[in-house]
Chain A
Amino acid sequence: MYKIFKILMYAGGFFFLMASCEKANTLTSAKVSSDTLDKEVAITPDVKMVLINGGEYQPFYGTDSSLVEVKDFLLDERPVTNAEFLDFVKKNPKWKRSKIKALFADDTYLQDWQDDETLPKNADPEAAVTFVSWFAAKAYAKAAGKRLPTLDEWEYVAMADEESANARDKPTYSAHLINLYNEKDRQKNKVKSSAPNYWGVYNMFDLVWEWTDDFNSIMTTSDSRTAEFDDKGLFCASAATSTTDVLNYASFMRYAFRSSLKASYTVGNLGFRCAKDTTNSTK
């Protein structure tokens, strides 16, 4: 995955050239948290998990030589809902708004909730939960006996449209997503009210941005940053990355969004869904 560092694409270059240096901190705090995350009270959200058949895929920032293998895995068919997250905080009070440690969530955590155990006014319990930090999402997944999908897993599934597992080469794919992404307040809609993709997964794009386990991984290896400023890297990128991907503005948006995050951030249009390995998928 670190290879993507070297591959700066042209359209995103301005930004990624300057990839944030703060990301390393996030990782450190992630480690700190793993102890506290150990003791969640189990929850059993009623959400179907879809089997995703793995395969090789070219990460958005990759070259032909850097195909990444994604193993078979299970993915929640939709994002975690308000109702489910409410159940989680009831059973795990340390994740309530009034109890949460500042290290694990910034001050907008669940900000629209009326109190620790009351959803926002007019909020649909079946809408995706938002204003949750990466730490909270991770704790939720753990309590559910799951984990967050990796960035590669998420993007692998995101290649699909309704008909095919990989729609990246369709010109309409990106254009459609740009318009979707440009729509405000989508997060207030119920989950699963739009059509599922090829895998039977809903709402990859039309409701919320989603946390991934390694959302900041494109910036984690600090020694690779020197490579980033290498002109040759820039040059190679424009040569190696296919035109389709350079024009895949929707993907640029996701990567830009992820790189604006810290693990404690909570944002009004950022939610998550859970994943699981197939090997331990039986309960």
Chain B
Amino acid sequence: MKRIVTCFTLALLTLQACKQNPSENSSAKSENTMDIAVSGDAINQSIVNPPMLPAPIGDRAAKKVVVRLEATEEVGELADGVTYKFWTFNSTVPGTFIRIRVGDEVELHVTNRSDSVMPHNIDLHAVNGPGGGAEATNVAPGKEAIFNFKALNPGLYVYHCAAAPVPLHIANGMYGLILVEPAGGLPKVDREYYVMQGEFYTKGKTDEKGLQEFDQDKGVDERPTYVVFNGKKNALMGANALEAKVGETVRFFVGNGGPNLVSSFHVIGEIFDRVYVEGGSKINENVQTTVIPAGGAAIVEFKVEEPGNYIIVDHSIFRAFNKGAIGMLKVTGEKNPKIYNKVQ
């Protein structure tokens, strides 16, 4: 089910990126991003499976970027012994992380796999224009739509399928994130991860084994059977836990596909040094829990000072412990008793 196609001429990482002062990015969209010219050859967006994501854009100039997303309908694992018919972009939930910079001109190819039953399309919240692309990309099974847009506003945005019935397409997993970096790129960090929350509504109870059908009533009532990170209970646990080393700065690109719930995103035992509030340009500091609306995102950054396991949760806590909204960041390295020390 997972597949990695890497066909990407990586943008050059430069020293500039590290020196960038975050506050410089926090100005609103400058009026002239529309006038940023693209130069050089078109590049292909690399396709990397979550929780990983493409490398930073650094300080490359604006370019034409070709992005390919394939809508698929396929059975996958939702929890141990529990399967579900997911609808996806590029066979993962969330879909491929798209990473571009302001001024980039994206040529988006949306294909719908020929064995799909449904039509699919894409609405990118990063797009200025009616429907965010949904109108331009509605694509029948086996067909392809091509859609061009210019990224005008830096920020972290949700994309999702907007084919009718929209709630079902989102509830089945058709969402992902698109990051539009400011000119010069985001400040450099040591680790970056892609985490996206979403709910699933199944006929059977939480953890009831076997292939589970979508439950429309639960969806309408906003009573999810599962609230998970990255499309699956325990997608970020055990062997799949995220990793970092003491002293490193970690950045999470966090999205919330919904379809219904607002996330109270929290990492137990950590304080977010910086939060790009709602994925925009405003930076808040020293945040314990940040709200991520359905169809919204946030960038959180923190330095890990102490080894151990840090639990990532939706702090609407029943969701975490009973419905799956739980992940783990494993931090290894030297203990620092000055920061954290059990005395007795």
Q: Check if B140 sits within 8 Å of A265, measured CB to CB.
A: yes
Is A99 on the interface with B (CB-CB < 8 A)?
Answer: no
**Contacting residues, chain B, for A174 (C-beta < 8 A):** 216
Tell me how many residue pairs across A and B have CB atoms closer than 8 Å. Answer: 99
Interface string of B207-243 (1 = CB under 8 A from A): 0000001101000100000000000000000000000
**Contacting residues, chain A, for B119 (C-beta < 8 A):** 256-257, 259-260
**Contacting residues, chain B, for A17 (C-beta < 8 A):** 130-131
Q: Check if B162 sits within 8 Å of A267, measured CB to CB.
A: no
Which of B118, B139, B140, B164 interacts with A14 by CB under 8 Å?
B164
Q: Number of residues in B with C-beta < 8 Å to the partner?
A: 30
**Contacting residues, chain A, for B135 (C-beta < 8 A):** 18-21
**Contacting residues, chain B, for A247 (C-beta < 8 A):** 216, 220
Interface string of A10-22 (1 = CB under 8 A from B): 0111111111110
Give complex CA distance A179, B85 in Å: 10
Shortest distance in angstroms between B201's beta carbon and chain A's nearest beta carbon? 12
On whether A15 and B214 interact (CB within 8 A), knowing A253-B164, A267-B140, the answer reads no
**Contacting residues, chain B, for A16 (C-beta < 8 A):** 164
Give complex CA distance A267, B123 in Å: 23
Closest A residue to B143 using CB positions: A265
Is A166 on the interface with B (CB-CB < 8 A)?
Answer: no
Q: Which of A64-72, A180-188, A232-240, A275-283 contacts B (4 or more CB under 8 A)?
A: A180-188
Is A252 on the interface with B (CB-CB < 8 A)?
Answer: yes
**Contacting residues, chain B, for A249 (C-beta < 8 A):** 165, 168, 216
Is B98 on the interface with A (CB-CB < 8 A)?
Answer: no
Shortest distance in angstroms between A269's beta carbon and chain B's nearest beta carbon? 6
Give complex CA distance A269, B112 in Å: 13
Q: Check if A15 sits within 8 Å of B121, measured CB to CB.
A: yes
Shortest distance in angstroms between A174's beta carbon and chain B's nearest beta carbon? 7
Known: A11-B164, A12-B164, A269-B117. 7 other contacts (CB 8 A): A14-B134, A178-B214, A185-B115, A260-B163, A261-B140, A265-B140, A268-B114
25 A-B contact pairs sorted by A residue (CB < 8 Å): A11-B165, A11-B167, A14-B131, A15-B131, A18-B138, A108-B114, A174-B216, A179-B214, A181-B118, A182-B73, A182-B85, A184-B73, A185-B115, A253-B118, A255-B164, A256-B118, A257-B119, A257-B140, A260-B121, A260-B138, A261-B140, A267-B140, A267-B141, A269-B141, A270-B140
In the A-B complex, the 10 residue pairs with the closest CB atoms: A18-B135, A260-B119, A12-B164, A18-B131, A252-B165, A260-B140, A256-B164, A252-B164, A14-B162, A15-B164
A residues adjacent to B (C-beta < 8 A): 11-21, 108, 174-175, 178-179, 181-185, 247, 249, 252-253, 255-257, 259-261, 265, 267-270
